[in-house]
A and B are shown apart, each in its own frame.
Chain A
């Protein structure tokens, strides 16, 4: 099975900072990657799908890029409401594996 890794596992940044999270697949998966935001006690929310397509209603400070094995989620200007854990997910085939998550908080 294809494994998904994420780095860093956690980060702390200031409001307004540019934040980048990396996701790597153990084999090529084209652009079949989604990114989710998960806040404690809340439902997961899709931010990006097809590696770079912004889900309707998601703020434009979120963006995604990559193809093949390496993918990136970028928050262009971190806001207090962005404190959450972010997960990448592959969906080229089953198993529909999630990455281990990156916890983002405010410095």
Chain B
């Protein structure tokens, strides 16, 4: 059974940093690109960042480029999101999501429960 478990969320001041983790199990982690998606309070879903299975390809939304860094440790089956220079508008539930099957870019077939990040003074 595929399981994704996020952690690391919390309250942080504007300008601060936070590191999110997503522990994966139930599939061959290194074979799949992984993604972070967020949902701000009362807003829709927003794609944040994707990393290739091997970790050599990383992609970011313009809203987080230069501030967030996605990475992964395939030996530990864990995905990360390092968030720096946080802003109030980064307040959201952050979900990690697994790529669906197939080649090229894909939809997301499994999602974690999410971790809440609140940026406020």
Does A pair with B?
yes
Count the B residues whose beta carbon is within 8 Å of the partner chain — how many? 23
In the bound complex, residues from chain A placing their C-beta under 8 Å from that of B25 are none
Docked-complex contact B44 and A96, CB < 8 angstroms: no
Docked-complex contact A101 and B45, CB < 8 angstroms: yes
Q: Interface code B10-52, partner A: CB below 8 Å = 1, 0 otherwise? A: 0000000000000000000000000101010000111100100
In the bound complex, residues from chain A placing their C-beta under 8 Å from that of B54 are none
Docked-complex contact B107 and A49, CB < 8 angstroms: yes
In the bound complex, residues from chain A placing their C-beta under 8 Å from that of B95 are 43-44
Measured CA separation A91–B37 after assembly (Å): 13
A14 at the interface (CB under 8 A from B): no
The main secondary structure of chain A at its interface with chain B is loop
Closest chain A residue to B109, Cβ basis: A46
In the bound complex, residues from chain A placing their C-beta under 8 Å from that of B45 are 36, 38, 44, 87, 89, 98, 101
In the bound complex, residues from chain A placing their C-beta under 8 Å from that of B39 are 38
Docked-complex contact A92 and B105, CB < 8 angstroms: yes
Measured CA separation A49–B106 after assembly (Å): 9
Docked-complex contact B111 and A96, CB < 8 angstroms: no
Measured CA separation A34–B62 after assembly (Å): 22
A44-B47 in contact given A32-B105, A92-B105, A93-B105 (Cβ < 8 Å) = no
B113 at the interface (CB under 8 A from A): yes
